[in-house]
Structure 1
Amino acid sequence: MKKLFTLFSLSAVLLFFNDVKAQEVGFGVGTSNYFGDLGRQGMGNSYVSDLWIEETKPSFTLFYRYSFLERFAVKSSLSLGWIGADDALISDVERGDDAWFRQYRNLHFKSHIFELSVMGEVNILPYAPGSYRDRFTPYITGGISVFHFDPKAEYNGEWVRLQPLGTEGQNTPEYPDRQKYSLIQPAIPLGLGVKYNINNNLILNFEVAHRFTFTDYLDDVSLDYVDRRVFDNNYETERADMIFALSNRSGEVDVEGVDRNVTAPGQQRGNPAGNDAFVFTTISLSYYFGNPNNNFTDPRMMRRHRLRW
């Protein structure tokens, strides 16, 4: 992961010092959304069909873009967003359906997402930064990113970090195959966007990019419920009480334990069949360093845009 971070950093530096006339720097604001085991009605998934509008959080991004040709650019971004979900918000459930099980599970979480990404952009229309004629284009974008997250849940009025606790028995002798997940993960961003030159130097951008991750633990939920005795055997009483309370919260909605078999040890807690995901939706303004008549290093392209302007 450190090598990947170093590669991103070097790519950013090389791009910045390559040809300042072909570059932009920008700032954006927008929203972030999570897709995973905690979500809307039915089974959770990693796609837009599981979008939970009520759990939309803010996001911010800094970026610079280097335009190679009228159809291609590379952008490096540093983004900060927040995600979260809460089973208790699920409503209109029927006993026994997927949404009922999720509501009864009663888990919740929140986390920041701090991401560094490098993404290519393929312009659908001829486009040149700062140009008057070729001032607008939709584009397709994709690349690679690395991000940091840290899921937390509320316990006795305080927000507690979940990864160190091992709520699914991680790092215990009873579950030797379950190791604590890393809080630094890679992702594959894919998305769509539009660019519009407001004038010779200012560019308005709008982008929606879905992040396909390689972890099922953005929400600290993936596998099955663990027996209370596992925590008692490995931790002091106070800590064992906390871990169990955060791993199985169904007792908060079913005090009498009428349906406690639903969350008994070995019962499904999450869905390990698919990884979690998140999406950034961003509107941004960038500043173009260059002459609109001298957009690219290719002499033929420079002549073309001189004539058009």
Structure 2
Amino acid sequence: MKQFLRRTAIAFLCTLSLPVLAQYEGFRHEGEFGIQLGAAHYFGDLNPTTRLNRPKIAAGVFFRKQVNDYVALRIGANFAQLGYSDVYEKDNEFRRRRNLSFNTNIWELMVQGDFNFFRFNPANPNERFTPYLTFGAGVFGFNPYAYLGNTKYFLQPLGTEGQGSAVYPDRTPYSTTAIAFPVGLGVKYAFNDRWNLNIEVAHRFTTTDYLDDVSSTYAGIAAFKPGSPASFLQDRSYETGAIIGAQGNQRGFGKQKDQYVMATVGITFSFSSYRCPTGQ
């Protein structure tokens, strides 16, 4: 008798819980539209030890389409500022003497896949949080510049490593468009069935070594018109001591591509649909 009453009580409680579970069963999370703001940082010939001491602004918008409970596809457009200078170097004498610097704006268009650790459905209070992995590919534009006195000069047209010079017919101007491959980790949390918090850190591996306009060897002063901006910007070691930029001397490290990272916090708006559960 005692066992019968126990089973009856359990069955009754389960029956009471069915309407609570059913109210979420038909809701499907279709996707999100979001905006994000954060910081970006550059890694390359001027920052080979991957220091995080000069972050700059990053922002973007994206749309994430939910494929199933765990997988989503995302398309996003982002803006970031990157920059660095050899003046921040305290330990490496060569980089301190080299005395190069750059800044650039980045505009990127990315397609990514997001893979949730847990089911994510903002309509269900029990499925409103998940970490996720993300990776993908995209195209971005950049155009490094530096200042000589108070004048801003874009560096690619100057050919600071002899690109376009008759002295170096094999060195062609580099493209200011390249491919990036983001790999990152994020978390999502739904405040309610419409609004969500999104936090993400994604590292970008790129196909260019010229984010910073530095890659190979010094072209030598003979490759530039005397007194031209290029002749002063290709080797700025004269500002720190004896000139080190003789023709053929190492200026950068061309065997490793430049990289950058974005860390952002975003707000997203969820899109949902409702389908009648099977059997209703």
The bucket for the TM-score relative to the shorter chain is 0.7 to 0.9
Question: Please, what TM-score do these two structures have when normalized by structure 1?
Answer: 0.78
Tell me the amino acid that sits aligned with residue 77 of structure 2.
Answer: L
Give the 3-state SS of the residue equivalent to 2:238 in structure 1.
Answer: helix
Report which of the two structures shows the higher radius of gyration computed on alpha carbons.
2
Which residue of the partner structure matches residue 281 of structure 1? Answer: 263
**CA offset at residue 23 of structure 1?**
2.3
**CA offset at residue 68 of structure 1?**
1.0
Tell me the amino acid that sits aligned with residue 38 of structure 2.
Answer: G
Give the 3-state SS of the residue equivalent to 1:290 in structure 2.
Answer: strand
Superposed CA RMSD in Å reads 1.7
% identical aligned pairs: 38
Among 237, 241, 244, which residue is 2:231 paired with? 244
**CA offset at residue 230 of structure 1?**
1.2
**CA offset at residue 21 of structure 1?**
6.5
Which residue of the partner structure matches residue 214 of structure 1? Answer: 207
**CA offset at residue 168 of structure 1?**
0.2
Separation in structure 1 between the aligned mates of residue 248 and residue 32 of structure 2, nearest angstrom: 53
Give the 3-state SS of the residue equivalent to 2:118 in structure 1.
Answer: coil
Separation in structure 2 between the aligned mates of residue 141 and residue 276 of structure 1, nearest angstrom: 20
Q: Deviations over 1:145-189 (max 9, x none)?
A: 111101000112112100000000001222122111111111111
Separation in structure 1 between the aligned mates of residue 277 and residue 94 of structure 2, nearest angstrom: 64
Separation in structure 1 between the aligned mates of residue 138 and residue 122 of structure 2, nearest angstrom: 25
Give the 3-state SS of the residue equivalent to 2:125 in structure 1.
Answer: coil
Which residue of the partner structure matches residue 171 of structure 1? Answer: 164
Separation in structure 2 between the aligned mates of residue 130 and residue 156 of structure 1, nearest angstrom: 58
Which residue of the partner structure matches residue 32 of structure 2? Answer: 24
Give the 3-state SS of the residue equivalent to 1:263 in structure 2.
Answer: coil
Separation in structure 2 between the aligned mates of residue 178 and residue 274 of structure 1, nearest angstrom: 18
Q: State yes or no: 1:253 paired with 2:246.
A: no
Q: Deviations over 1:251-290 (max 9, x none)?
A: 0011xx2xx3x43211100000100011111100000122
Which residue of the partner structure matches residue 70 of structure 1? Answer: 69
Q: Deviations over 1:55-90 (max 9, x none)?
A: 100111111111111110011111001000010121
Which residue of the partner structure matches residue 88 of structure 1? Answer: 87
Which residue of the partner structure matches residue 118 of structure 1? Answer: 111
Which residue of the partner structure matches residue 14 of structure 1? Answer: none
Contact 1:204 1:285 in 2 (8 A): yes
Separation in structure 1 between the aligned mates of residue 124 and residue 41 of structure 2, nearest angstrom: 34
Tell me the amino acid that sits aligned with residue 29 of structure 1.
Answer: L
Separation in structure 1 between the aligned mates of residue 181 and residue 104 of structure 2, nearest angstrom: 19
Separation in structure 2 between the aligned mates of residue 62 and residue 130 of structure 1, nearest angstrom: 23
Q: Deviations over 1:70-128 (max 9, x none)?
A: 1100111110010000101212x3xxxxx111011000000001011010001111222
Q: Which moved more, 1:213-222 or 1:168-177?
A: 168-177
**CA offset at residue 133 of structure 1?**
1.1
Which residue of the partner structure matches residue 140 of structure 1? Answer: 133
**Count of matched residue positions in the alignment of Structure 1 and Structure 2:** 251
Unmatched runs of 5 consecutive residues or more in structure 1: 1-19, 94-98, 305-309
**CA offset at residue 228 of structure 1?**
0.9
Give the 3-state SS of the residue equivalent to 1:22 in structure 2.
Answer: strand
Unmatched runs of 5 consecutive residues or more in structure 2: 1-27
Separation in structure 2 between the aligned mates of residue 203 and residue 188 of structure 1, nearest angstrom: 26
Separation in structure 2 between the aligned mates of residue 166 and residue 222 of structure 1, nearest angstrom: 12
Separation in structure 1 between the aligned mates of residue 263 and residue 135 of structure 2, nearest angstrom: 14
Separation in structure 2 between the aligned mates of residue 224 and residue 141 of structure 1, nearest angstrom: 36
Question: Please, what TM-score do these two structures have when normalized by structure 2?
Answer: 0.86
Q: State yes or no: 1:51 paired with 2:51.
A: yes
**CA offset at residue 303 of structure 1?**
4.1
Separation in structure 1 between the aligned mates of residue 166 and residue 122 of structure 2, nearest angstrom: 59
Among 184, 190, 205, which residue is 1:191 paired with? 184
The structure richer in strand per residue is 2
Separation in structure 2 between the aligned mates of residue 212 and residue 129 of structure 1, nearest angstrom: 32
Which residue of the partner structure matches residue 96 of structure 1? Answer: none
Separation in structure 2 between the aligned mates of residue 220 and residue 288 of structure 1, nearest angstrom: 41
**4+ long deviations beyond 6 Å:** none
